[in-house]
Amino acid sequence: MNHLVSPSILSADFGSLEKDIKMLNDSVADWIHCDIMDGVFVPNISFGFPVVEFVKKVSAKPLDVHLMTVDPDRYINRWHEAGADMLTVHYEACVHLHRTVTEIQSLGMKAGVALNPHTPVSLLDNILPYVDMILIMTVNPGFGGQLFIVECYNKIAELRKMIDSKGIEVMIQVDGGVDLNNAPELVNAGVNVLVAGHTIFSSAQPAETIRQLKHPF
């Protein structure tokens, strides 16, 4: 399948968020990525239910919600009510990951599992058949605008090999330091979904930058 682009609104202008969402609606972006940070799992606080509910009202694109929180099970149904179409939880935050993934899917959402840069993909072997997407963090989560950790290319390659060897359909998403320079290599490595925030929203022509991420070759 052709790869997808999921712009992260963490880097949007929250003083004119509706304008930015409408720009994304008019662009070739596929999803809208919402980074939820609780100040505990990561050293930053972003936004919560009211913002996601507002984005859902304005957006013409599916909402791709990434929980960087402790105890994500506590609010799975609430994120569904807020409008999440995809809900991604961190491997490192889930004690009973299979149960968590199953609950997400039972509500009609796609289920993703995220890995921090230091977490090996080999730990996903038994959960892969049950998930819709794996998110490889290519920066340490918590802040936008960080540099891509190049060692993560090896993780992406290993994960792609694991998925293909099992003959299953699981998307690989990458978040952190994605830009116009590394997008071609990431797509060639087997990444299905590119998340970009700073690269898009710091651009003088964000819709054009999204187009270039969508068509990097």
**Domain extents in the chain:** 4-214
Which positions are annotated as active-site residues?
A: 35, 175
Q: What's the confidence (pLDDT) of residue 151?
A: 86
The pLDDT tens digits for 69-126 are 999 999 999 999 999 999 999 999 999 999 999 999 999 999 999 999 999 999 999 9
Residues in the chain: 217
What CATH architecture applies to the domain 4-214? Alpha-Beta Barrel (3.20)
Q: What's the confidence (pLDDT) of residue 68?
A: 96
pTM score of the predicted model = 0.95
The pLDDT tens digits for 137-152 are 998 876 666 678 888 8
Measured distance CA(85)–CA(138) in Å, rounded = 23
Q: What's the confidence (pLDDT) of residue 204?
A: 97
Q: What's the confidence (pLDDT) of residue 217?
A: 87
Measured distance CA(76)–CA(36) in Å, rounded = 13
Measured distance CA(217)–CA(188) in Å, rounded = 10
- Arithmetic mean of pLDDT over the chain: 95
What Å distances lie between residue 47 and 55, 141, 148, 184, 205, CA to CA? 12, 15, 24, 31, 25
The pLDDT tens digits for 153-186 are 999 999 999 999 999 999 999 999 999 999 999 9
Quote the DSSP letter at residue 147.
P
Q: What's the confidence (pLDDT) of residue 180?
A: 96
pLDDT at 57 over 80: yes
Q: What's the confidence (pLDDT) of residue 149?
A: 81
Q: What's the confidence (pLDDT) of residue 140?
A: 80
pLDDT at 195 over 80: yes
Measured distance CA(69)–CA(90) in Å, rounded = 8
Contact indicator for 146, 139 with CB cutoff of 8 Å: yes
Q: Hey, which residues does 5 pair with through a beta bridge?
A: 194
Phi (first) and psi of residue 56, to 5 degrees: -60, -40
The pLDDT tens digits for 19-50 are 999 999 999 999 999 999 999 999 899 999 99
